[in-house]
A and B are shown apart, each in its own frame.
Chain A
Amino acid sequence: MKTWWTLFKREFASFFVSPVAYVVLAIFLIITGILFYSNLLWYYQNSFGMFQDPYMIRSMNLTDDLIRPLFANISVILMFMIPALTMRLFAEEKRSGTIELLLSYPVRDSEVILGKFSATLTFFVVILLLTLVFPVFLYAVSEPETGPMITAYLGCFLMGASFIAVGTFASSTTENQIIAALLAFGLNLTFWIVGWISPPGTGTMSTVLQYLSIIEHYDPLTQGILNSKDIIYFLSVTVLFLFLTNRVLLSKKWRG
């Protein structure tokens, strides 16, 4: 526990030394800001038109027309951005050779992995907290639903954790950070679109592919639907890729 905490602190501090984290943070906030603002403009203009039609006005609400698009946007941006945060984790230590020293200390491989994973997750939470400016704005000018907001943030957190685990795994397989980032992005995208190739109907193949798809599990959470299978999905992806990272480190000890 103490070892993990020591590793966590070093890893977290190193985010603020490298410019990558600041670049990711800035780009993320700028893009989400632009997208949120454009949705807001659309909502604002449409709501004027809808005032003429009392039937249509009922179909407009903040959750469906602002919160859901916002979180759908965030998830796509994260798919690109999180690999940029995770690519460094193991690849840099391997390239510079520091991994050799790190693993010669009395630390377990799992503690090293969890230290890196949790430090990145914490940095990600910081980014997520900065997006609270959008809900705060909505609360200031209107009365959005709180429930869907909370589940959407939960979904975002869980999906981020999965992406970070995938990225940690990708980083452990190579000493080239660009390859680590591309591999992580590729895996994320595969999990994203895998549902699209599911055959129509409710066959086994279709069910499996649908179940593997990230959107299938993320979308309900942004709507305010809290389903245990979605939470289990994200947690199992996270655990699976952290476990695979552990295997990669172990196999390196054999293969050199």
Chain B
Amino acid sequence: MIEVEELTKNFGVTTALNRISFRVKKGEILGFLGPNGAGKTTAMRILTGFLTPTSGTARIAGFDIQRQSLQARRKIGYLPESAPIYRDMYVRDYLRFISTIKGMTGPEGKRRIGSVIEDCGLDQVRNRIIGKLSKGYRQRVGLAQALIGDPDILIMDEPTEGLDPKQIIEIRNLIKNLGGNRTVILSTHILPEVSMICERVIILNEGKLIAVDTPENLNRSLTKHSQIMLGVRGPAEQITAVLQSVPGVLKVECRDDFLDSMLSFNVEVSQTEDIRSRLAEKIISNRWELLELRSTSLSLEDIFIKLVTREEEEPSV
């Protein structure tokens, strides 16, 4: 559905995007992840025709974004960061304006507006001025304008930015439900959001693409070994020694948890086999109190920081 090849964008001497290539299949939900200034917005602006790439190409549903810009743009619903919509217009007038501009007029347009108003929960505010709406509602109007042309592709730049937690959940659900069989690209720097919504993640840093994968795969590939956390009441040194002796254990770290008067052990184990039951057995057979045992995997935050810092550690040419 979306094919991006070697996309580069320079602003003067700064390189905002550096030879980015990726593909998005029909119906896929793709997340752009990266710190501020990583090039997420630039990439989206190129796809939506607001910026021209310095080099490289992108095709939207087979249409080249530069040579067949209008056809490509017809396939896209775009929600830029912080939903810049005309504040001096009424919600219904605004949606009518958008629908005619996207070529939906007459009864078809009317039906489409009606269904978008319903889907985005805008029924109560349809006769209000956009500028007087709350941020959450403005974001919904933004989403509504993106959906109105019934586009195959939805591109959203930080759709949950600046909303309160309740609104964030509402908008996330809207995106998930309205996505349907659309192809969706969204950017965010809220990491859990990505694992919650997206099927695939692209991690950008300083204009470079540093990883493309599913959230799970990223997790797996970056952690050669997994970690197990144990909460035990008993003598620290003895326990450490016993845990060390279990085959498969690579490293044991002991930390005094003052709150529960228990000891927390971070056990790094190789990923070849599951040794959780063996660890539990050891503790119990020594008559120590086993209070907690769980395997901890790296969160997206950890992956993100690992990737970004690993990138920085590489010597620059």
Contact = CB atoms under 8 A, between A and B. Distances in A.
B31 interface: no
B101 A6 contact: yes
A227 interface: no
Interface in A100-121: 100-101, 103-108
A104 B84 contact: no
B5 to A, nearest CB: 19
B50 A98 contact: no
Interface string A225-256: 00000000000000000000000000001111
A158 to B, nearest CB: 30
Interface string A77-112: 000000000000000000011101101111110000
A7 interface: yes
A44 to B, nearest CB: 46
Report the interface size class on chain A.
Answer: 20 to 34
Given A253-B52, A256-B11, A100 B80 contact: yes
Nearest to B75: A106
A97 B48 CA distance: 14
A18 B100 CA distance: 23
Given A10-B97, A254-B52, A96 B87 contact: yes
Interface string A172-186: 000000000000000
B73 interface: yes
Contacts of A103: 49-50
Task: Choose among A2, A3, A18, A105 the residue with the greatest number of B CB atoms under 10 Å from its CB.
Answer: A105
Given A6-B101, A17-B88, A256 B51 contact: yes
Interface string B131-156: 00000000000000100000000000
A105 B50 contact: no
A101 B51 contact: no
Contacts of A108: 70
B76 interface: yes
Q: Taking chain A's interface residues, is the majority helix, strand, or loop, or is none over half, making it mixed? A: helix
Contacts of A10: 86, 89, 97
Contacts of A104: 48-50, 73, 76, 78, 80
Nearest to A16: B88
A103 B89 CA distance: 18
B62 interface: no
Interface string A1-27: 011001101100010011000000000
Task: Choose among A14, A17, A96, A253 the residue with the greatest number of B CB atoms under 10 Å from its CB.
Answer: A253
Contact of A98 (B70, B78, B84): B84
A107 B76 CA distance: 13
B84 A100 contact: yes
Contacts of B87: 96
A6 B80 contact: no
Given A255-B11, A256-B11, A256-B51, A101 B102 contact: no
Contacts of A18: 88
Contact of B100 (A6, A14, A97, A255): A6
B85 interface: yes
B175 to A, nearest CB: 18
Given A101-B78, A253-B50, A256-B51, A107 B101 contact: yes
Contacts of A96: 84, 87
A254 B105 CA distance: 33
B103 interface: yes
A101 B101 contact: no
Given A3-B101, A104-B49, A106-B74, A97 B84 contact: yes
B167 interface: no
B126 interface: no
B226 interface: no
Contact of A101 (B11, B52, B84, B89): B84
Interface of B: 9, 11, 16, 42, 45, 48-52, 70-71, 73-74, 76, 78, 80, 82, 84-89, 97-98, 100-103, 105, 145
Given A14-B89, A104-B76, A106-B70, 16 more contacts: A6-B101, A10-B89, A17-B88, A96-B87, A100-B45, A104-B73, A104-B80, A105-B101, A106-B103, A107-B101, A108-B70, A253-B49, A254-B51, A255-B11, A256-B11, A256-B51
19 contacts: A2-B100, A2-B103, A2-B105, A6-B97, A7-B101, A9-B97, A10-B89, A17-B88, A97-B80, A97-B82, A100-B45, A100-B84, A103-B49, A104-B76, A104-B80, A106-B103, A256-B9, A256-B16, A256-B42
